[in-house]
Amino acid sequence: MKALGGIATAAIAVLAAGGIKAALPGAPADPAGSEATATRVRVVVVLDGDTLRVEDLDGGDLGRVRLLGIDAPEVAHPPTPAECYSTEATEQLEQLAPVGSTVFLTTDIGQPDRDRYGRMLRYVDHAGTDAARELLAAGAARVYDTDQQLARETDFAAAAQDAHGAETGLWGNC
């Protein structure tokens, strides 16, 4: 460690401060300061328009991830039929976070770690793109109403408002 000098000291300081705060190459920036750690994972399957199953980079199952801040139309859960635009929302998330791709999962310190179904609640970024924001902009999801403000709430609200005003996606089809 002595040979690394300042690099080792800086790494220890980052870890002591609670993790890596968007310091990984390609990780999203945190202008609001309410996002916590960004973790690189691999997408195993896209379950619907707002839920993924992921694994760590060594292949260990990490479970399901619910994209923070959005609510996409539900796929069929028999006997309940699929909601309008659920297929399109799922297909769009498959394009934004393709199976086998590496994505960043980022926590929001103002939000719970998991939802009532045990899914991790995270922002999902792939290739510098926020998947939830893109789904909102395409009209493939609605803003999820939460009691606590999201770090990305302003961007999400603007994207959703533009899609709704233009009758894009579900707003023009459902």
CB 92 within 8 Å of CB 131: no
28 versus 172: the higher-pLDDT residue is 172
- Asked whether residue 31 is assigned to any structural domain, the reply reads yes
Per residue in 87-137, pLDDT (tens digit) is 999 999 999 999 999 999 999 999 999 999 999 999 999 999 999 999 999
Range of the domain at 143: 20-173
Query: pTM of the full predicted structure?
Result: 0.81
Domain assignment present for residue 42? The answer is yes
- The structural domain count of the chain equals 1
pLDDT value of position 146:
87
Residue 12 lies in a domain: no
CB 171 within 8 A of CB 139: yes
Q: CATH number, domain at 42?
A: 2.40.50.90
